[in-house]
Amino acid sequence: MLEGKRIVVGITGSIAAHKGADLVSKLTQAGAKVDVVLTESGARFVTPVALQGLSGRPVYTDVFAATGDLAISHVELGRRADAVVIAPASAATMARLAHGLADNLLCLTVLATEAPVLLAPAMDALMFENAATQANLAILRERGMTIIGPAEGRLASGMRGRGRMVEPEAIVGALRRLLGRSGDLAGRKVVVSAGGTQEPIDPVRYVGNYSSGKMGYAIAEAARDRGARVVLVSAPVALSTPYGVEKVPVTTAEEMRDAVVAACAGADVLIMAAAVADYRPAERAGQKIKRTKEGMTLDLVPTPDILAEVKGDLVRVGFAAESEDLMRNASEKMARKGLDLIVANDITAAGSGFGTDTNQVTIIDKSGAAETLPLLSKYEVACRLLDRVVPLLKRSS
Ligand code: CTP
């Protein structure tokens, strides 16, 4: 999504400037063309040389200096940008922006851009809470700029409070959401389930499965990047929630059913990537079950079939993780659950299935037509799947 995009990253004077440098590195690695604009105070914290090393492009500091591209006019950076991110954004820079001052290259660039602007403030908590800063933020927000953070935590003053710049990962997420806001899922609500449910045996044990949640989280991210409002119903996983995605944490299949059914109200799409336990222990022991010399039998009862229970006029997509007879099992599942699409994968194939970052799947539609995709990253699989979902959407959202 960031491949080839022109992103202006403004870095202002703050101890968080090194995180701005990390952001430059992350965006560059994601394929963006990053034009760094460093303010005079910013240059007290990170050097143009370091930033040029990270972006592989000229770094701009001075309106009047003929840096890098000699032909560049003073408004060129803003004019050609797909997005402008200021991270860290100091109180002084936000005050300048709120009042339309063009007294440095960064503020001039923001004045001269039609691209979306994202600000990640960083300052002392008292400065952030100050009425002047809050008034400036309100003006910038009202003019359509997106503000992310600041977060609570330890500040440069040694005090704790709200003023820390959010982490670069969150800024990348916010930027992707901003760039995708007019994507082909804009105005749509997409519900995604992810992870493996856990069915309690006693207070310390459960029946579970190896699902990592990576496929579902990649779908949530990809749908967000295309402008959707995403609700991610997630069983316990070790992944961080993608920025801008609404996560509903659940543990058991029954909790997942309740959360998915509730989330599907008004939804356009349901994608069930979760590995839902088909059975749960009939009883949950109140106390930890003790070891004895005897063997033991667990009584299991079926859990609800979530996909089968979700009614309504939405596009429904299931996954079929199979270890044998892939196509036959997947097609049979699709018919039984009345799905629009099913994503079949052979969990025994190399690079596919639980815990991996890649997946090799076949997407089957209602007519029985099967599209076999190559081995791709889970994010790319998610993109290809959404390419198939979009034409199935009803015209009005
Ligand atoms: N699924 C569901 N509710 C369940 C079990 C599964 O909604 N109780 C969904 C899964 O999220 C997946 C699809 O149904 O999208 C197929 O899941 P799978 O476990 O492969 O199918 P089952 O119906 O459980 O069939 P089997 O376990 O016999 O293969």
239 occurs within a structural domain: yes
pTM for this model (two decimals): 0.87
- Asked whether residue 26 is assigned to any structural domain, the reply reads yes
CATH label of the domain that carries residue 237: 3.40.50.10300
- Confirm if 292 and 369 have CB atoms less than 8 A apart: no
**Does residue 325 share a domain with residue 214?**
yes
Q: What is the pLDDT of residue 318?
A: 96
Q: Among candidates 393, 345, 347, which has minimal Cα distance to 373?
A: 345
pLDDT for the residue numbered 67: 59
Q: Which of 104, 209, 329, 359 is catalytic?
A: 209
Q: Which residues contact 49 (CB under 8 A, 6 or more apart)?
A: none
Residue 64's pLDDT band (cuts 50, 70, 90): confident
Q: Which residues contact 252 (CB under 8 A, 6 or more apart)?
A: 197, 198, 199, 200, 277, 280, 303
Please indicate, yes or no, if residue 140 is contained in any of the structural domains.
yes
Q: How far is the CA of 242 from the centre of ligand 1 (A)?
A: 25
**End-to-end C-alpha distance for the chain, whole angstroms:** 24
Distance (angstroms) between ligand 1 centre and the Cα of 275 equals 7
**Same domain? 65 vs 83:** yes
Active site residue 209: yes
What is the side-by-side order of every strand in the sheet holding 117-121? Answer: 59-60, 33-38, 6-11, 83-89, 117-121, 146-147
> Does residue 134 sit in the same domain as residue 198?
no
Residue nearest to atom 24 of ligand 1 (CA): 278
What is the reported pLDDT for 158? 84
Q: Which of 191, 272, 316, 363 for a ligand 1 pocket mutation test, highest count of atoms within 8 Å of Cβ?
A: 272
Range of the domain at 65: 6-179
Determine the residue of 197, 233, 261, 333 to mutate for testing ligand 1's pocket, defined as the one with the most ligand atoms within 8 A of the Cβ atom. Answer: 333
Residues with CB under 6 A from ligand 1: 253, 272, 274, 276, 278, 303-307, 318-321, 333
Q: What is the pLDDT of residue 355?
A: 80
pLDDT band at 379 (very low <50, low <70, confident <90, very high): very high
125 and 274 within one domain: no
Tell me: do 306 and 233 sit in the same domain.
yes
Q: What is the tens place of the pLDDT at every residue in 93-143?
A: 999 999 999 999 999 999 999 999 999 999 999 999 999 999 999 999 999
Tell how far the Cα of 213 is from the centroid of ligand 1, in angstroms. 15
pLDDT, one tens digit per residue, over 141-164 is: 999 999 999 999 888 888 889 999
Q: Are residues 225 and 92 in the same domain?
A: no
In the reported structure, the alpha carbon of residue 309 is separated from the centroid of ligand 1 by a whole-number distance in angstroms of 12
Does 193 lie in the same domain as 175? no
Going by pLDDT thresholds of 50, 70 and 90, the confidence category of residue 8 is very high
Q: What total of structural domains would you count in the chain?
A: 2
pLDDT at 125: 93
